[in-house]
Amino acid sequence: MSVSEQRAPEEIALPPAAKPRRDARGNALRVVGPPVALFVVVAALWQFLPGILGLEKFVLPPLSDVLAQFGSASLLDQLWTNGLVTLKETVLGLLLGSVLGIVGGVLLGESAITRATFYPYLVAFQSLPKIALAPLFVIWFGFGATPKVLVAATLTFFPLLVNTMSGVMTVDRDRAKLFRSLSATRRQVWLKLLLPSALPSVLAGFEVATVLALLGAVLGEFVSSQDGLGVLLQQQQTNYDTAGVFATLIVLAVMGVVLNQIVVQLRKRLVFW
């Protein structure tokens, strides 16, 4: 047999696509493996540590007791109805705060005078504790959904403002000069230059804003509301239903992760480069 006819055993045993497929499985395992391993460790500690430390169930119930709460039809109905209310407030607050934040970010980013005039006051407003603003919103707008939406919007507004402003300020100056030389209208500059250039920064801020909007909605429900997951949490806390509290917190955590992942997938599609 000639030298050219000799093949390594690996080349004979493996088809051409086997190695790439194995590499893909390895990459997937490296991505999925660590969070799954961490979840297993945390779940095991949550299940066995309270018993080892001798903690009462109303202080820290084991994981099995918390998961058993989801077998209650009454609690599931409460989680569903109140969860829809909180989700509606979150989405409305996210949309309102995002629109205001993006528009404000473009205005401040493209004008140094506007930025110097308004930005310090916006920072001062952001520094105010939102728990102090919530009662004012109730006084001004009543006990409906409006105060909760506004609290969510105030938490959403600033991350979008800062990220949009940062994205607009980093626009290529040569491209801006080209638009001016072509006598582009203000609307064309916004839609074809500023917003597309700032889009990666905007979506990065949007990822943070989704979680903050959920927190704002629940915070508003703590202050004044008749329904929502924040109200359910208060009722469970009053009844010392610690397992129910953890079950509601798990639902809130899942809602936050789902909303965040929707934005992540949107970002991958819109700014795929």
> Domains, the chain, ranges and CATH?
3-53 (no CATH), 63-270 (1.10.3720.10)
Q: What mean pLDDT is predicted for residues 24-42?
A: 75
End-to-end CA distance of the chain: 50
- pLDDT-based confidence at residue 245 (cuts at 50, 70, 90): very high
Handedness of CA 120, 122, 123, 129 (dihedral sign): positive
Please tell me the distance from the alpha carbon of residue 218 to that of residue 230, in angstroms, as a whole number.
5
Is residue 83 over pLDDT 90?
yes
- The confidence score (pLDDT) of residue 109 equals 84
* pLDDT tens for each residue of 164-178: 888 888 777 777 777
- pLDDT-based confidence at residue 23 (cuts at 50, 70, 90): low
Report yes or no: 161 and 197 within 8 Å, Cβ to Cβ. Answer: no
Is residue 30 over pLDDT 80?
no
- The confidence score (pLDDT) of residue 3 equals 47
DSSP-based helix, strand, coil % in the chain, nearest 5? 85, 0, 15
Q: What mean pLDDT is predicted for residues 214-242?
A: 89
- pLDDT-based confidence at residue 180 (cuts at 50, 70, 90): confident
* pLDDT tens for each residue of 35-60: 788 888 888 888 888 888 888 888 88
- Quickly count: other Cβ atoms within 10 Å of residue 172's Cβ: 10
Q: What mean pLDDT is predicted for residues 88-106?
A: 92
- Kindly report whether the global pTM for this prediction surpasses the value 0.85: no
Please tell me the distance from the alpha carbon of residue 267 to that of residue 241, in angstroms, as a whole number.
39
- The confidence score (pLDDT) of residue 215 equals 92
- The confidence score (pLDDT) of residue 157 equals 92
- Quickly count: other Cβ atoms within 10 Å of residue 143's Cβ: 12
State the chain's mean pLDDT as an integer: 83
